[in-house]
């Protein structure tokens, strides 16, 4: 099957001379959810902007459903919907007007029933006649999603859809993305958060400093990277780890003020329950408890070092 | 092939924007034109003799309409394309299946429509103050449309070129306003000393005002053919600049 998106030898050097993308090769499969993961300035938005036609590539080609995005731009752009990273909306417009505008802009005849459905799905229907500037940030984000969906795209780009979004909306957004996938839409989302990529994506690409470091099935990647650390802040310092806890692979830090436990967050049994029970038995009191995931930076370090 | 749905969407969007700022886009030019009539037409005009057999109050009508037509066409079109660039909503235009020709038709079409409507409103306002006759109504409309389209194109170019609100104001302020005031809106250039007459012939607005006035009263500073050529020439220049901008992607894309 033709890939939804096929990027070949893509490079981008901005006028400033800064090279934002270095020879990117990437294929996105039909109907998958692809997570593009990378730190600030990695080139995620640049890559998406080139695919969508907002930024011109310095070299390389982009195909969408097999069509060249420069030579057959009308075809490819009709296929693609984009939810940009920035909340750029027409502040004086209403959601109703702006979503209908987008549909027309992408070449489709008006379809009020369809637009109504989108706005209802995104819980914007009761706000449809309000000026966008009077909406909250999360609602503006939803307006942008509605605009991107207005022309029934086959491929949807979500550039950091959950930045600055509360937990509930984030859950709604994920549900929406899953529903869209069920209808056959291919989805590419960017994020800084591993848990988000983990929750949503079928495959994950990691980009850093303009280079695509790896592309892998989520399961495989998470097995590699899904280490978590549990930290207990102790009520009183320990000189050494008590022998009763020896079987738990623990370590002390901060001069014995903290006890650390590293575990695989994807394992069926993380061992946390027995650990806590043993700690209680040993009579160790703690004042705080914290878990920490390997940060993206840690992952990049481990990626670069990987043989 | 053109994306008609897109052109229509942008056109409606732009016209709706004017509807929202009705006060600014229609009422204020009408008020300022009325003031011109009160000052130049009634107060001063009564002391000025007829020009080419036309009462001074009526004589200035075509020039006043041109004045608004030029400034409003430029203002509308430049703002229409500059605003999405400024707030960032341009991303949607660039990612949509529209060609630059589609974009130009939509934005320039909307801006020109607005200033044509405005021109007609000012004409109607003028009719309240002075007795009007229009000898060549079709030529009148022709000049109105051609001028509106040409200067909307110029505004569109300015809106793409500008990278700040100051620049957006700069050209209209520094170039267009002086040219229109010195372009024979309020006088016939034959009334000027010979040196200034010669200088005036380098002012493109002179040809517009002259041709437009001819369509009203049949009298002109320069021949109607020359006026028509001047405006068509200016239109061609604007089209060439637009074509170049789009060929190079100038200022729209990184
Ligand atoms: N118009 C531009 N001119 C020059 N450099 C640019 C331009 N746009 C982006 N860059 C640079 O390109 C690099 C990649 O930017 P990009 O926006 O693609 O990163 P990103 O991965 O989306 O980051 P974030 O996670 O912060 O959104 C950055 O170093 C940025 O400064
Ligand atoms: Mg970004």
DSSP-derived secondary structure for B196-250: HHHHHTT-HHHHHHHHHHHHHHS--SS-HHHHHHHHHHHHHHHHHHHHHHHHHTT
Same domain, A75 and A149: yes
pLDDT > 90: what percent of chain B? 37
User: Quick one: pLDDT at residue A305?
Assistant: 53
Q: Does residue A18 line the site of ligand 1, with CB under 6 A?
A: yes
Question: Hey, whose CA ends up nearest to atom 27 of ligand 1?
Answer: A40
A67: enclosing H helix or E strand:
strand A67-68
- How far apart (Å, rounded) are the C-alpha atoms in residues B126 and B120? 10
Segment B64-81 shows an average pLDDT of 90
Q: Which of B13, B89, B254 sits opposite A88 (nearest CB)?
A: B89
Among A206, A180, A194, residue whose Cα is nearest residue A33: A180
Closest-lying ligand 1 atom to the alpha carbon of residue A49 = 18
CATH code, domain with A268: 3.30.70
Look up the pTM and report it. 0.83
Contact between A193 and A204 (Cβ < 8 Å): no
Closest-lying ligand 1 atom to the alpha carbon of residue A39 = 25
Q: Does residue A43 line the site of ligand 1, with CB under 6 A?
A: yes
Which ligand minimizes its atom distance to the CA of B253? 1
Minimum CA–CA partner of B253 in chain A: A55
Q: Do B6 and A109 touch (CB under 8 A)?
A: no
Among B204, B242, B217, B222, residue whose Cα is nearest residue B131: B217
Contact between B97 and A106 (Cβ < 8 Å): yes
CATH code, domain with A84: 3.40.50.300
User: Quick one: pLDDT at residue A32?
Assistant: 94
pLDDT in tens, A264-282: 776 777 788 888 888 888 8
Q: Is the dihedral of CA B127, B132, B133, B134 positive or negative?
A: negative
Laid out side by side, the sheet with A33-37 consists of: A80-83, A155-159, A186-191, A33-37, A203-208, A211-217
Note down the domain range covering A289: 227-304
pLDDT band at B252 (very low <50, low <70, confident <90, very high): confident
Q: Which of A100, A105, A109 sits opposite B92 (nearest CB)?
A: A105
Same domain, A245 and A261: yes
Helix, strand counts (H, E) of chain B: 12, 0
- How far apart (Å, rounded) are the C-alpha atoms in residues A65 and A25? 16
Q: Distance, in angstroms, between B84 CA and closest chain A CA? A: 8
Q: How far is CA A52 from the centre of its chain?
A: 18
Last residue of a domain, one of A156, A189, A223: A223
pLDDT band at B139 (very low <50, low <70, confident <90, very high): very high
Same domain, A58 and A125: yes
Main-chain dihedrals φ then ψ at residue A93, nearest 5 degrees: -85, 165
Q: Does residue A20 line the site of ligand 1, with CB under 6 A?
A: yes
Alpha helix segments (H runs only) across A53-166 = 73-79, 95-105, 112-121, 137-149
Same domain, A126 and A215: yes
Q: What angle do CA B200, B206, B210 make, to 5 degrees?
A: 135
Residue B47 carries which DSSP code?
G
Same domain, A105 and A238: no
The residue ranges of every structural domain in chain B are 4-248
Q: How many domains does chain A have?
A: 2
Q: Please give the C-alpha separations between residue B60 and each of A188, B104, B187, B220, in angstroms, as whole numbers.
A: 61, 32, 7, 13
Cβ-in-10-Å burial (0-12, 13-18, 19+) of A167 comes to: exposed
Segment B113-130 shows an average pLDDT of 88
Q: Are strands A227-234 and A258-264 parallel, antiparallel or unpaired?
A: antiparallel
Among A15, A49, A68, residue whose Cα is nearest residue B250: A15
Q: Does residue A86 line the site of ligand 1, with CB under 6 A?
A: no
pLDDT in tens, B171-197: 888 888 888 888 888 778 778 888 888
User: Quick one: pLDDT at residue A307?
Assistant: 42
User: Quick one: pLDDT at residue A84?
Assistant: 94
Q: Establish, for the pair of chains A and B, how many residue pairs have beta carbons separated by less than 8 Å.
A: 80
Q: From the CB of residue A28, how many other CB atoms can be counted at a distance below 10 Å?
A: 23
Last residue of a domain, one of A223, A247, A269: A223
- How far apart (Å, rounded) are the C-alpha atoms in residues A211 and A209? 6
* A19 CA to centre of ligand 1 in angstroms: 10
Q: How far is CA B12 from the centre of its chain?
A: 20
User: Quick one: pLDDT at residue A300?
Assistant: 56
Per-chain residues with Cβ under 5 A from ion ligand 2: A 44-45, 85
> Which residue numbers in chain A have pLDDT < 50?
307
Same domain, A185 and A252: no
What value does the CA radius of gyration of chain B take, rounded to a whole number of Å? 19
ipTM confidence: 0.86
Q: Distance, in angstroms, between B33 CA and closest chain A CA? A: 29
Main-chain dihedrals φ then ψ at residue B155, nearest 5 degrees: -60, -40
* A151 CA to centre of ligand 1 in angstroms: 28
pLDDT in tens, A70-117: 999 999 999 999 999 998 888 889 999 999 999 999 999 999 999 999
Among B55, B242, B81, residue whose Cα is nearest residue B168: B81
Alpha helix segments (H runs only) across A17-111 = 44-52, 73-79, 95-105
Same domain, A109 and A159: yes
Last residue of a domain, one of A223, A243, A265: A223
Pick from A4-18, A90-104, B118-132, B137-151: least confident: B118-132
User: Quick one: pLDDT at residue B19?
Assistant: 81
Q: Does residue A85 line the site of ligand 1, with CB under 6 A?
A: yes
User: Quick one: pLDDT at residue A303?
Assistant: 63
* A86 CA to centre of ligand 1 in angstroms: 13
Segment B193-219 shows an average pLDDT of 87
Q: What does chain A come to in residues? A: 307
């Amino acid at each position: 099957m033709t890939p939804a998106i096929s990027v070949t030898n893509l490079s981008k050097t901005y006028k400033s001379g800064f090279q934002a993308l270095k020879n990117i090769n990437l294929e996105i499969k039909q109907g998958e959810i692809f997570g593009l993961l990378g730190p600030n300035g990695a080139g995620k938005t640049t890559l998406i902007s080139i695919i969508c036609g907002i930024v011109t590539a310095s070299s390389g080609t982009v195909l969408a459903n097999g069509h060249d995005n420069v030579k057959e731009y009308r075809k490819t752009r009709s296929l693609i919907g984009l939810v940009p990273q920035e909340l750029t909306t027409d502040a004086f417009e209403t959601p109703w007007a702006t979503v209908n505008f987008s549909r027309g802009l992408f070449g489709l005849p008006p379809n009020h029933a369809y637009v109504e459905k989108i706005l209802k799905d995104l819980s914007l229907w009761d706000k449809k006649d309000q000026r966008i500037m009077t909406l909250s940030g999360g609602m503006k984000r939803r307006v942008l999603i509605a605009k991107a969906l207005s022309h029934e795209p086959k491929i949807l780009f979500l550039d950091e859809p959950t930045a600055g979004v509360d937990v509930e909306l984030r859950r709604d957004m994920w549900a929406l993305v899953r529903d869209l996938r069920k209808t056959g839409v291919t989805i590419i989302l960017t994020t800084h958060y591993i848990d988000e990529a983990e929750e949503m994506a079928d495959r994950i690409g990691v980009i850093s400093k303009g280079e695509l470091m790896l592309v892998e099935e989520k399961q495989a990647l998470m097995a590699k990277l899904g280490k978590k650390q549990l930290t207990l802040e102790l009520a009183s310092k320990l000189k050494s780890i008590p022998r009763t806890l020896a079987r738990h692979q623990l370590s002390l830090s901060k001069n014995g003020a903290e006890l650390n436990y590293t575990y695989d967050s994807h394992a069926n049994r993380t061992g946390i329950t027995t650990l806590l029970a043993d700690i209680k038995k040993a009579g160790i009191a703690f004042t705080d408890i914290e878990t920490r995931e390997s940060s993206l930076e840690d992952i990049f370090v481990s990626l670069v070092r990987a043989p | 092939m053109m994306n008609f749905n897109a052109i229509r969407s942008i056109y409606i969007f732009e016209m709706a924007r004017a509807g929202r700022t009705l006060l600014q886009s229609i009422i204020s030019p009408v008020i300022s034109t009325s003031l011109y009539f009160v000052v130049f037409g009634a107060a001063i005009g009564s002391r000025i003799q007829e020009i080419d057999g036309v009462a001074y109050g009526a004589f200035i009508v075509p020039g006043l309409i041109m004045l608004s037509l030029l400034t409003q066409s430029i203002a509308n079109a430049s703002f229409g394309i500059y605003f999405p660039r400024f707030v960032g909503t341009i991303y949607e235009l660039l990612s949509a299946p529209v060609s630059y020709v589609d974009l130009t038709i939509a934005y320039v079409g909307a801006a020109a429509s607005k200033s044509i409507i405005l021109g007609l409103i000012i004409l109607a306002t003028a009719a309240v103050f002075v007795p009007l006759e229009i000898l060549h109504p079709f030529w009148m409309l022709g000049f109105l449309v051609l001028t509106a389209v040409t200067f909307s194109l110029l505004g569109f170019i300015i809106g793409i070129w500008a990278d700040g609100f100051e620049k957006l104001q700069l050209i209209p302020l520094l170039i267009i306003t002086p040219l229109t005031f010195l372009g024979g809106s309020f006088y016939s250039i034959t009334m000027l000393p010979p040196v200034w007459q010669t200088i005036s012939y380098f002012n493109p607005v002179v040809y517009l005002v002259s041709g437009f006035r001819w369509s009203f009263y049949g009298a002109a500073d320069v021949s109607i053919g020359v006026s028509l050529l001047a405006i068509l020439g200016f239109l061609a220049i604007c089209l060439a600049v637009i074509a170049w901008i789009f060929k190079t992607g100038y200022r729209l894309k990184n």
